[in-house]
Structure 1
Amino acid sequence: MARRKLQHYRFSEQAENVVQAGKPLYSEIKGNWNKLYFNNESPIVVELACGKGEYTIGLGRKFPDKNFIGVDIKGDRIARGSALATGYNLSNVAFLRAGIQYSDDFFAENELSEIWLVHPDPQIRERYEKYRLTNPTFLAKYATFLKPGGMFFLKTDNTFFYEYSLQTLDEAPHFKILEHTDNLYESHLLDEHHGVRTHYEGIFTAKGYTIKYIKAQVV
């Protein structure tokens, strides 16, 4: 293992804004994020597959009246986001190191107000559908975590994943698609991503890819 990765893992072990295996909150946090971590009753927003937490941090800086949690399994990525959030002194930002397939171990029914999914791996191969983060199984989990009227947002550069997600969300019994576009930057919906974009989004747009966007609501 590279020395830098080891340093990141050690950082996360000590970081107060990272919840991961081996820390007391890891087994106690479900249904208790406001009480045990944030110490307030502000709405909770989760970014799934957050990578280095660029979106989580960007939203956390823009909306200090909300709480934000970035979720990813990669410890080195989480550590980078944790360090950046600490540098910005963001008390409303936390990170959870866990696989998204185990998210129902960490979030309770009606605990969240928003879920963001920003440029996830599209898992294009048919045999990998079970890993697509908008497949029916995952959407059912999200609908449980979200409060009534809670929001689900998706950004992707991948046309296949965009069209797949439109279909699964349309067929999901507890979601209603409110708006969507296959070219966010040329859409009236542009302001809805709050001017926050990831490093890879910049790369995608520079190569000529359009950014797709879906806004859905729990009904």
Structure 2
Amino acid sequence: MGSKNKLKRFNENATFKNVIQPAREEVVSHFKYQGKWNEFFGNDHPITLELGCGKGEYTVALARKYPNRNFIGIDIQGARFWRGAKTALEEGLNNVAFMRTQIELVDAAFAESEIQEIWITFPDPQMKYKRTKHRMTNPEFLVKYQRILQPNGIVNLKTDSEFMHGYTLGLLQGRGEEILYAHHDVYSNTESPDEVTATQTFYEKQYLEIGKAITYIKFRLH
């Protein structure tokens, strides 16, 4: 994407009512929407997050499917989720928002037990050992998710990385977490949840074209 296109999207994001772009200091000091996201949406519907949302495919697709739930896509790359934010506005989806911030600030952006469900879609697996702290399912991130999730809240991990799938599955099993579903190739399994196979991200389609398997884990944190 050219720099002119990025700048255009950044500028357009600033005019979108469904896009929030706080400075890091705003989030960590006392974020105005922490514990008050239902005021932002104007209802008390349950909230689902898509972390590292990219173009926001899951955020928008789930919002279409579940009009009585609210969905927030989070990514540090505002030029990416511009597409999802624009689509949501064009379709009049009032249950969609996008927030530009770092994923590690998620527990500062949301209050304890404020979130019902989390989707992590095709994160960077950060395979090198020294990058472990950046893996979005490492123990520190799991603690953050547990803090903001309701007691029976769900986490979904969908990835093309066998390494990320195996790492997460082993970590969850070692911690004694509740694994609701796990499969290393969701499109070869007729019992895969519809939400997993019905929506395909931009990158997922590219992976499928070259025959790469897509993995999925659904779990609860206790």
Contact 1:12 1:78 in 2 (8 A): no
Are 1:152 and 2:155 counterparts? yes
SS at match of 1:40: coil
The CA distance in 1 between the partners of 2:170 and 2:34, in whole Å, is: 30
Measure how far apart 1:137 and its partner are: 0.3
Are 1:30 and 2:39 counterparts? no
Superimposed CA distance per residue, residues 139-197 of structure 1 (whole angstroms, 9 cap, x where no aligned partner): 11001111011101110111001000112222346x31121000101221242426111
The partner residue of 2:74 within 71, 84, 93 is 71
Superimposed CA distance per residue, residues 98-139 of structure 1 (whole angstroms, 9 cap, x where no aligned partner): 000111121110000000001111111111111100000001
Structure 1 stretch displaced more, 54-63 or 80-89: 80-89
Measure how far apart 1:94 and its partner are: 0.3
The CA distance in 1 between the partners of 2:110 and 2:172, in whole Å, is: 21
The CA distance in 2 between the partners of 1:164 and 1:15, in whole Å, is: 38
Which residue of the partner structure matches residue 85 of structure 1?
A: 88
The CA distance in 2 between the partners of 1:49 and 1:172, in whole Å, is: 24
The CA distance in 2 between the partners of 1:205 and 1:79, in whole Å, is: 24
SS at match of 2:198: coil
Superimposed CA distance per residue, residues 39-60 of structure 1 (whole angstroms, 9 cap, x where no aligned partner): 1111100000001101100111
5+ residue gaps, structure 1, are: none
One-letter amino acid of the structure 2 residue matched with residue 208 of structure 1:
G
The CA distance in 2 between the partners of 1:177 and 1:15, in whole Å, is: 38
Equivalences for 1:16-165 in 2 at 5 Å? 16-21=17-22, 27-35=31-39, 37-165=40-168
Contact 2:122 2:160 in 1 (8 A): yes
The CA distance in 1 between the partners of 2:5 and 2:174, in whole Å, is: 44
Contact 1:47 1:116 in 2 (8 A): yes
Measure how far apart 1:78 and its partner are: 2.5
What TM-score, normalized to structure 1? 0.93
The CA distance in 2 between the partners of 1:171 and 1:61, in whole Å, is: 36
The CA distance in 1 between the partners of 2:48 and 2:38, in whole Å, is: 11
Contact 1:139 1:172 in 2 (8 A): no
Contact 2:48 2:115 in 1 (8 A): yes
**Number of equivalences:** 215
One-letter amino acid of the structure 2 residue matched with residue 186 of structure 1:
S
Q: Structure 1 vs Structure 2: percent identity of aligned residues? A: 41
Q: CA RMSD in A?
A: 1.6
The CA distance in 2 between the partners of 1:159 and 1:78, in whole Å, is: 26
Equivalences for 1:176-191 in 2 at 5 Å? 176-187=178-189, 188-191=191-194
One-letter amino acid of the structure 2 residue matched with residue 87 of structure 1:
E
Contact 2:185 2:215 in 1 (8 A): yes
Rate the CA distance shift 1:145–1:50 in 2: closer, same or farther, 3 A. Answer: same
Which residue of the partner structure matches residue 173 of structure 2?
A: 170
The CA distance in 1 between the partners of 2:144 and 2:71, in whole Å, is: 18
